[in-house]
Amino acid sequence: MGMWVGRGRKARRCYSFDEIALVPGDISINPNEVDPSWEFAGKKYKVPIVAAAMDGVVDVSFAVKMAKLGGLAVLNLEGVQTRYEDPSDILSEISKATPPRATELVQKLYRPPVKEKLIIKRIKEIKKAKVTAIVSAIPQKAERYSKIAQSAGADVFVVQSQVSSPTHISTQYKVCNYGVLCKRSKIPVMIGNAVTYKMTLELMELGASAVLIGVGPGAACTTRGVLGIGVPQVTATCDAAAARDFHFKKTGKYTPIITDGGMTTGGDICKAFACGADSVMVGSALARAKEAPGRGCHWGMATPNLNLPRGTRIRVGTTGTLKEILLGPARTDDGTQNLLGAIMISMGAVGARTIRDFQLTEIIIAPAIKTEGKVFQAAQKVGMKK
């Protein structure tokens, strides 16, 4: 499989969201009669969207509001929320910085160590609202922070890194054993990120309760430019979905996959589901909410790296409330608000009653889908051509 790119070397053709489109179904369904909910670790969530563990997106207040609207929001246990008792001034400083200054400033402000007492405090603040508390850490800190998170009452623990390979080799630090971590954990463990069939399957076999899919597609991520690695999200999601289905057939255990990154509009999210996602994780789309702590700015988890940042701070603006972005009514014309409404209408158009049905949607390669007939939008810089 693949095409020749040179003598003796083949490369596989992969696809991104902008290159495909969904085909309407032979039947259609009233959007009000479809069910866009998804199940994770025995619980059902009515909004199949997870807010990314980014400091410009999720703080305690945002996590609570997201949960009450039916979704999930991941709090980064190695972010400003656990380094500073009151990070308000820090967040304000980052949002006001000039582009040349932003990365340097973020690196400086992330140098103070994480305070474990703040990990406990933040989790308890979320649980006080009687909603799901989902928190994340990098593999090197996973064993320690997982224990702390569980003791504080967290419901889900996420181990997230640039690439979560099932086998990691290092002589400089203790390697996280995902199998042992999942086995010992009393709460579900979500692991990411992966982009291949084999990697996804092996993480599921190690006991992951869900696997995050995507390397480098995020709006604030520069991994693909800095390191040259990544797989376009359409192909990565399709491959991961195949691994999930094989694992289910083999074991009888259904492990959800969550497409993470590369989606800015409802259309992108709908395509992710059609490719096989059970849920999606988004950052920039939710960083635009009035409730987001980034004040209209968004930056990746690898941005503070002192040696080689693989992220940048971007300005996404503030366009509406979290409720408007998730549930509407939309006040923009470009597909960035009422994301759940977009999912439900798209499900109705392709004849899918559930997310599992949505995963069976016919997909076509159509790179001109976003430009065909849009000459006036492009000329006037409105709608899809802002």
CA dihedral over 287, 59, 276, 38, signed as positive or negative: negative
Query: Which residue of the set 83, 122, 176, 221 is catalytic?
Result: 221
CB burial class (10 A; 0-12, 13-18, 19+) of residue 165?
middle
Catalytic residue at 221? yes
Which residues, 6+ apart, have CB-to-CB distance to 284 below 8 Å? Answer: 218, 219, 220, 264, 298, 314, 316
Query: Which residue of the set 184, 224, 295, 315 is catalytic?
Result: 315
Which residues, 6+ apart, have CB-to-CB distance to 213 below 8 Å? Answer: 192, 193, 194, 195, 200, 233, 236, 237, 240, 257, 258, 259, 260, 277
How many residues make up the chain in this entry? 386
Which pair of structure tokens corresponds to residue 122? 């933040």
Nearest C-alpha neighbor of 358 from the set 35, 49, 18: 35
Look at residue 227 and give its three-state secondary structure.
coil
Catalytic residue at 310? no
How far apart, in whole angstroms, are the C-alpha atoms of residue 22 and residue 132?
Answer: 33
**Catalytic positions, written as ranges:** 221, 315
